[in-house]
Amino acid sequence: MENRSTCPISIALEVVGDKWSLLVIRDLLFTEKRTFSEFLASDEKISTNILTDRLVLLESEGIIRKRKDEHHRQKVIYTLTDKGLDLLPLILELGAWSGKHYKVPSWAKAHIRKLKGSGPDGLKAFRQQLRKAHQ
Amino acid sequence: MENRSTCPISIALEVVGDKWSLLVIRDLLFTEKRTFSEFLASDEKISTNILTDRLVLLESEGIIRKRKDEHHRQKVIYTLTDKGLDLLPLILELGAWSGKHYKVPSWAKAHIRKLKGSGPDGLKAFRQQLRKAHQ
């Protein structure tokens, strides 16, 4: 991919700057969803072709990895790489911003506030947990 | 706007989840650019129709405001509202993530690291400065 500029903000937007990619990352970070059909079933009703496209992009950028489920060999599951796990602070800032400026469920707001409020050590511990779950 | 779900992450992506809107916010946060033609001249070469569209969207969401320059009445300038200034932490996380995973100029990396490293008080002070400049 040739970048449109060397600005780090621009580069990040070229990779995850769309309305859908970070929703897959959200599902992987905060839910047990790991398969195509589970992502498809999320509230936002992503279409199959957009989901296919985004999974290919995220895998090619090394943000997610794809493998066969060890218990059900016909099932393909997706997990986050370390680079993908590094999107956690960004996702939290997205949620914190709209929690401040839009009407969102109070449980979601509380969840984000709690995670952000846990500070660098709390986030590190949460990331460790996630890392284990995504191995 | 009818939201596709109540998830705060999804809502934020519906507003700023595209490859261009946050570049305008970046220009407003980190440069002296305030006009249509100045945004147009940024390295990423946004097209006039996308820029027009994004400025309308950002204004309608209360993220930027538009007014006539007091010194040049024919000139229209854009500034950030408080809601727009609240995007600073998100922008820093975008930059930090690609600074970690992509090749970016070391000065840009150092700038983001310094701001993020300044902690809540440092960021608050920077935001205050910006707020004055955007009044």
Reported as a single tens digit per residue, the pLDDT across B1-13 is 689 999 999 999 9
CA angle, A85 then A90 then A94, to 5°: 135
Amino acid at A74: Q
Which residues sit opposite B80 in a β-bridge?
B64
- What's the pLDDT at A94? 98
Q: Phi-psi region for residue B121, left (φ > 0), alpha (ψ -120 to 50) or beta?
A: alpha
Residues of B in contact with A112 (CB under 8 A): 8
Tell me whether residue A25 is exposed, middle or buried, using C-beta atoms within 10 angstroms of its C-beta: 0 to 12, 13 to 18, 19 or more.
buried
The predicted-structure confidence for A65-96, as pLDDT tens digits, reads as follows: 999 988 888 899 999 999 999 999 999 999 99
Strands (E), B1-135: 64-68, 76-80
Mean predicted confidence (pLDDT) in B57-71: 95
Say yes or no: B57 contacts chain A, CB-CB below 8 A: no
For residue B13, give the chain A residue with the closest CA: A19
Going by the DSSP 8-state scheme, the letter that residue B78 receives in this structure is: E
Say yes or no: A15 contacts chain B, CB-CB below 8 A: yes
**Within chain A, which residues score under 70 in pLDDT?**
1
Q: With CB atoms and an 8 Å threshold, state whether B8 touches A89.
A: no
**Cα B12 from Cα B100, distance rounded (Å):** 23
Q: With CB atoms and an 8 Å threshold, state whether B98 touches A45.
A: no
- What's the pLDDT at B1? 67
